[in-house]
Amino acid sequence: MDFFRISTAFMALISLVLIAGLFAFLVLQSAPVLAGQQWSFLLGQDWWAGEVYGALPMIYGSLMVTGVALVMVLPVAIGGAVFTSEFLSPNQRLWVKAMMELFAGIPGIIYGLLGVALLAGWVKDSFGLIDGNTILTAGLLLGIMILPTILTLSEDALHAVPGQYRDTSLSLGLTKLQMIKSAVIPVALPGIAGAIFLGLGRAMGETIAVMLVIGGLDKIAEPWYDLFAPAQSIASKLGREAAEAIGSGQQWSALMALGLILFLLVMILTFMGNLLLKRVR
């Protein structure tokens, strides 16, 4: 028992050291551009390698694509979680959860290739666009990718609600749908919120799939809510230019600053998601 406790504590310590080391590396590498440009780096809209670096278009792209993914997938994920938890038999529930976990494990590049081959063409033809690589395409693709994560974790939160809530509601004369709406979902709400945050964390950091379908334009759309415009997320920007910067110079520092922003955003979302799921458990 002592050996097991010591070994697990050692592994946990290694994880913390690695995370702290990665954070320190990003801070040190991004220090030159942050010290030189300060707030103009976060608020600037121009990105010209060797001249000026503005992160706002990439932050905008990440938030827009993630927002579209959330809006598109949330009704399907929550509805699927409720149906799986409350209306399927135990054996059927296990099959659905196994399939969702299988889909969650598919590499992002596979989703990206399917997005290029199918989704981009569908968006282009459906809306009469010149090019199907848009914010909407990237958001739809991300929504498909995070659907299994949100669905299966939300279902876990719903399934964890004690049976006494259901029995008491039904004994008071509520129908099954009323029982789910008034008793089950409110109790499971923190867990559902945690599932959403964890899904957003994955969506925010997705690189290859988004890079293939977002269009790659470092510009804020006009108007800003135009979903049919090409854009650039933080992750796709890093994927496109990291190899060109070759580890040195102001461009590399700017890319590391983008990585630091993405690291903090994903860490906050993941921490909030785990905190809410822990509350339910």
Q: Report the alpha-carbon distance of residue 180 to residue 185 in Å, rounded.
A: 6
Domain extents for the chain?
2-280
List average pLDDT for each run of 10 residues in the chain, which is 281 residues long: 76 88 90 84 84 88 91 91 88 87 84 89 90 91 90 89 84 85 86 85 83 88 89 88 75 89 86 71 54
| Residue 1 confidence (pLDDT) | 54
Residue 260 Cα to chain centre, angstroms? 16
| Residue 279 confidence (pLDDT) | 65
Give which of 200, 210, 199, 208 is closest to 61, Cα–Cα. Answer: 210
Give which of 105, 110, 131 is closest to 202, Cα–Cα. Answer: 105
What's the burial of 128, exposed, middle or buried (CB within 10 Å: 0-12/13-18/19+)?
Answer: exposed
| Residue 3 confidence (pLDDT) | 73
In CATH terms, is domain 2-280 a member of 1.10.540.10? no
Q: Report the alpha-carbon distance of residue 76 to residue 54 in Å, rounded.
A: 36
| Residue 9 confidence (pLDDT) | 82
| Residue 16 confidence (pLDDT) | 87
What's the burial of 153, exposed, middle or buried (CB within 10 Å: 0-12/13-18/19+)?
Answer: buried
State the pTM of this model.
0.85
